Amino acid sequence: MGVCLECGINISGRVDKKFCGDVCRNTYNNKLNSDSVNLVRNTNNALRKNRRILAEICLDEKAKTTENRLIQMGFDFNLITSVRTTKKGSTYFFVYDYGYLELDNNFYLIVKDNKGKKVEEENV
């Protein structure tokens, strides 16, 4: 006879049985995985926030903005989903379907990637 790992009551059945039922098993595993689940959830929320900020600025195919405006809106430059380099060597940082390119004097070019098309060198 064993003891439930979650609630501690005596359990009967198979020798290798660890929980008295599904509720205790789920509760135990949710507690065990809560740190990693919270990390993923918080990262996904921050990525969605970054995308919303870029989408709010870039109402058409492309737009310009300043680094200060992005920071004031809460943009996190450490969270991106991909990096693309053009044939001319410009590096775009993407958050899902919106990308940004650092320009001179703390300006940024924001672009919308339509249907996975490659980003071409922009004339700025």
Which two tokens mark 21?
């039922």
Residue 6 · residue 24 · CB < 8 Å = yes
Write out the two tokens for 15: 């020798």
**pLDDT tens digits, one per residue of 19-39:** 999 999 999 998 887 777 788
pLDDT digits (tens, 9 = 90+) for 45-97: 999 999 999 999 999 999 999 999 999 999 999 999 999 999 999 999 999 99
Determine the Cα–Cα distance for residues 108 and 85; give it in Å rounded to an integer.
16
Q: Residue 15: what residue type?
A: V
Question: How many other CB atoms are there within 10 angstroms of residue 76's CB atom?
Answer: 15
